[in-house]
A = this chain, B = another copy of it.
Amino acid sequence: MLQLTKRTEYGLIALVHMVDQGGEYTSAREIAESYPIPKRLLAEVLKDLARSGLVNSLRGSTGGYALARPPEQITVGDIVSALEGAPTLASCDTADGNASDCEVEPVCPIRSPLQRIRKGIWLQMQRTSLRALVTPSPQAADLPLTARNGPAAS
């Protein structure tokens, strides 16, 4: 239904929280205590974020997680991509140019237009940085589509 997963939301919240903590390593427990979200699930999400390289992790009693890059260099697209995969809109466009298994594909009249929409969504996620999430400057995210075409995948 065109909605982010809870996992992704939890990840976004956690990362925003980390920005507030500066460069300090923050444990999963500490984050989970700040919001009414299941601690165990958040832990799983944080592991995914660590596996994808968005955050660094430290084990042991004083361990935790911290951003691997400054918040200006982490985009919503990065996070979504790490936790639930980049938006596809249709199961045929794999965002990395792979084969699909859709039977309709050979005669599908909506494939290419859908891809254009997907690209727009992706662009929008890529131009919204984690910094923009924590300090919501209204004009920052309303730049024209042509500006700031970053290293957008695909």
Interface, chain A (partner B; CB < 8 A): 1-5, 9, 12-13, 16-17, 34-37, 76, 80, 84-91, 103-104, 107-110, 112-114, 116-117, 120-121, 124-125, 128, 132-134, 136, 141-142, 144-145
- Say whether A113 contacts B85, CB under 8 Å: no
Q: A13-B109, A117-B125, A120-B141 are in contact. List 15 more A-B contacts (CB 8 A).
A: A2-B121, A3-B89, A13-B108, A16-B109, A16-B110, A35-B107, A36-B107, A76-B117, A110-B133, A113-B132, A116-B128, A116-B142, A117-B124, A120-B120, A120-B121
Distance between A9 CB and nearest chain B CB, rounded to angstroms: 6
In the complex, what residues of B have CB within 8 A of residue A84's CB? Answer: 1-2
